[in-house]
Structure 1
Amino acid sequence: MSGPSLYTLHHPRWYRRRVSVWWWLEKRSYTVFVLRELTSVFVALFALVTLWQIRSVAAGAEAHARFMARLATPASVVFHIVALVFLLFHSITWFNLAPKAMAVRLRGKRVPDAVVAGSNYAAWIVLSAAVVYILLRR
C-alpha cells in the first residue's frame, strides 16, 4: 500500500454539491429546526436578564428599583414579548421532540409518544402554576 492519497483538484471523491445558503427554507422540518436553534439566543438572553435581576436584588432595594425601571421601558417590553414567543416556540418544539429522543419503556413495551409528550406538558403546566402561585401570594 502506498501512503495517503494526495488531494487533486478534480478528484471525484472530494466532489461536493453546492448548497444554497437558504437550504433550510426548502422543507418545513428544516425551517423549524433552524428556528428552534435560533431560539437558543433568546433563551440565553433571558437567562442573562434573570441573572442581572438576581444581582440587582442582592445589591439592595435601590438597585432593584433601578433595574425594574429599566425593564419598564418600551424597548424592554418589546424584547420580552418577542422573547416569550421564541421561548414558547422553543419549549413546544422541544417537548414534541422528547418522544423521539428517548424511548421510554414500561414492562417491556414502548410508551406511546403522545403519553411522553403529554407528561412533559403536564409537568410544565404544574410547575408554571406553582411559580405563579409563589409569585402572586403576598
Structure 2
Amino acid sequence: MSNRKPYVREMTRTWWKDDPFYRFYMVREATILPLIFFTICLTFGLGCLVKGPEAWAGWLSFMSNPIVVVLNILALLGSLFHAQTFFSMMPQVMPITIKGKKLDKTIIVLAQWAAVAAISLFVLVLV
C-alpha cells in the first residue's frame, strides 16, 4: 500500500450558491419549512376542535397572530411554487400523445392549473 493520501475536494458551506441550478434547488427545498409549520398548526387546530369551544377559540386567536399569518402566506406561496415546478415537469415526465401527436406542453400545464382552480372553486362552494 502507498502512503499517499487520496485527493479530497474542498467543499465550502456555500457551495450551492455558485450555480444557479443548485440555488434554485435549495430555494425550492427551503420552501418546505413554512409548509411544515402550516401542517403542524393545522394538526393542532384539529386537536383543539375536538377538545371543545375554548380550545378552538384559543387556536383561532393564535392563528390570528400577525407572525402566524405571514408564515401561512409564505406556506401558500411555497405550495404554489411547488405546484408550478411540478406542473412544469409533468409534460417531460409523462408526455401525452393524441392520435400520434404530442400534446403541447403549455396545454398540459394550463390543464393542471385549471384542475386546481376547479377543485378550489368546488371546495369553496362546498364549504
Which TM-score tier does this pair reach, normalised by the shorter chain? 0.7 to 0.9
Higher relative contact order (CA 8 A, sep 6+): 2
1:35 matched to 2:22: no
Q: Determine which structure has more spread, i.e. the larger CA radius of gyration.
A: 1
Count of matched residue pairs: 127
The unaligned stretches of length 5 or more in structure 2 are none
* Contact 1:42–1:87 under 8 Å retained in 2: no
Identify if the C-alpha distance between structure 1 residues 111 and 77 changes in structure 2 by more than 3 Å, giving closer, same or farther. Answer: same
Q: Equivalent residue for 2:47?
A: 55
Identity %: 25
- Given residue 57 of structure 1, which amino acid in structure 2 is its aligned partner? L
Q: In 2 relative to 1, CA 98–42 (structure 1 residues): closer, same or farther, beyond 3 Å?
A: farther
Over the aligned positions, Cα root-mean-square deviation in angstroms equals 2.5
Distance 1:133 1:77 in 2: 23
Residue 3 of structure 1 aligns with which residue? none
Equivalent residue, structure 1, for 2:112? 120
The partner residue of 1:74 within 66, 90, 95 is 66
How far apart are 1:107 and its partner, in Å? 4.1
Q: What is the TM-score with the length of structure 2 in the denominator?
A: 0.78
Residue segments in structure 1 that go unaligned for 5+ positions in a row: 1-5
